[in-house]
Amino acid sequence: MITAENLHKRYGSKTAVDGISFQLQPGKVTGFLGPNGSGKSTTMRMGVGLDKPTAGSITIDGKHFAQHKAPMRTVGAVLDAGATHPGRTGRAHLNVLAATHGISRSRIDHVIELTGLGGVVGKRIKGYSLGMNQRLGIAAALLGDPAVLIFDEPVNGLDPEGVRWVRGLAREMAAEGRTVFVSSHLMSEMSQTADHLIVLGRGRIIADAPIHELLDSGEKRVLVRTEQVAELANAITSRGVTIDHLDAETLQVTGLDPRSIGRRALEAQVIVHELTPQLSTLEDQYMKLTGDHVEYRSGGTFGEAPQ
């Protein structure tokens, strides 16, 4: 279990993490979502003792990372896939790490198999692709068979097969009862992996909820198709109702449920061909949540996962 209490981090005058508190549950993938620069990496780095909080705390199973006798057996983290010795082979890298924790050869072989590194583990790391490096980082994180996993943007730069593999692995690890904490700036990525989301904006938590709650809290929209758009718009116009004319026969209505729209259409003798509730997407919700919390804004929107 990972617990943050009033966690702060300042770099000079820059506040990267601004008093956040959360508790992550085992058996779940918790997505840590936020625009670039919102403080995700800083929080994760503090979780594994690579950065020191300015105030507050982040603990794993009640203790600071450094207080654990065998940290690799408690927490596996992939924070910077490039942090390896390029002249070593993948296997030598894993051997060195394993030696510090008395981890057996059979465990090393197991994580090599689990991460699909069998074909390259005898080669020098400097020749590894981004995907191989990412897999090696994950193999290292899994070495100690830890109950807590922390992955910072694990799918960055991976090909579609690699992305799917990381997603499956995260889900599998959670199903085994581990606490899995995965960051991303892509809602589309999180919506396929996480059970629970913590959304960060400018160093503060702006949502901490199960994915399904975030979806349910979205604004309900209804698509209505009729040849009598003007009459229908007239019949349903009231306070709190927004009507968008999508085309000559289609309205998108916000603020009124399908049943009420149908009843008012009947009263106004308007024939309706279609009445469809629109599910708000997680992407919509994310945009709404983070709209005011983006540090670096470009002309576009948050993109879809590169798949």
Ligand X SMILES: Nc1ncnc2c1ncn2[C@@H]1O[C@H](COP(=O)(O)OP(=O)(O)OP(=O)(O)O)[C@@H](O)[C@H]1O
Rounded to the nearest whole angstrom, what is the least distance from the CB of residue 186 to ligand X in the complex?
10
Scanning residues 214 to 243, which ones bind ligand X (CB under 6 A)?
A: none
Burial of residue 210, with CB atoms counted within 10 A of its CB: 0-12 exposed, 13-18 middle, 19 or more buried: middle
Q: Return the residue of 31, 34, 71, 146 that touches ligand X, per CB under 6 A.
A: 34
| Cα distances (Å, whole numbers) of residue 174 to 56, 161, 200, 284 | 27, 20, 22, 27
Distance CA 65, CA 50 (A): 9
Residue placing its CB nearer to ligand X in the complex, 219 or 295: 295
Scanning residues 262 to 301, which ones bind ligand X (CB under 6 A)?
A: 295
Distance CA 222, CA 207 (A): 25
Distance CA 41, CA 47 (A): 10
Task: Report the SS3 class of residue 265.
Answer: helix
53 binds ligand X per the rule CB under 6 A: no
Distance CA 225, CA 279 (A): 17
Q: Return the residue of 28, 33, 38, 199 that touches ligand X, per CB under 6 A.
A: 38
Contact 180, 18 (CB under 8 A): no
Rounded to the nearest whole angstrom, what is the least distance from the CB of residue 45 to ligand X in the complex?
8
**What proportions of the chain, in percent to the nearest 5, are helix, strand and coil?**
35, 30, 35
Rounded to the nearest whole angstrom, what is the least distance from the CB of residue 296 to ligand X in the complex?
8
Residue placing its CB nearer to ligand X in the complex, 73 or 293: 293
Rounded to the nearest whole angstrom, what is the least distance from the CB of residue 67 to ligand X in the complex?
23
Binding mask 182-211 for ligand X (x = CB under 6 A): ---x--------------------------
Q: Return the residue of 18, 30, 31, 40 that touches ligand X, per CB under 6 A.
A: 40
Residue placing its CB nearer to ligand X in the complex, 10 or 88: 10
Rounded to the nearest whole angstrom, what is the least distance from the CB of residue 103 to ligand X in the complex?
29
DSSP 215-234: HHTSPPEEEEEES-HHHHHH
52 binds ligand X per the rule CB under 6 A: no
What residue type is 265 in one-letter code? A
Binding mask 4-23 for ligand X (x = CB under 6 A): -------x--x-x-------
User: Minimal CA–CA distance to 74: which of 179, 176, 148?
Assistant: 148
What residue type is 288 in one-letter code? K
Q: Return the residue of 41, 133, 226, 285 that touches ligand X, per CB under 6 A.
A: 41
Which of these ranges, 35-43, 98-106, 190-198, 230-238, lies near ligand X under the rule CB under 6 A? 35-43
Residue placing its CB nearer to ligand X in the complex, 80 or 161: 80
Q: Where on the chain is the footprint of ligand X (CB under 6 A)? A: 11, 14, 16, 34, 36-42, 185, 295
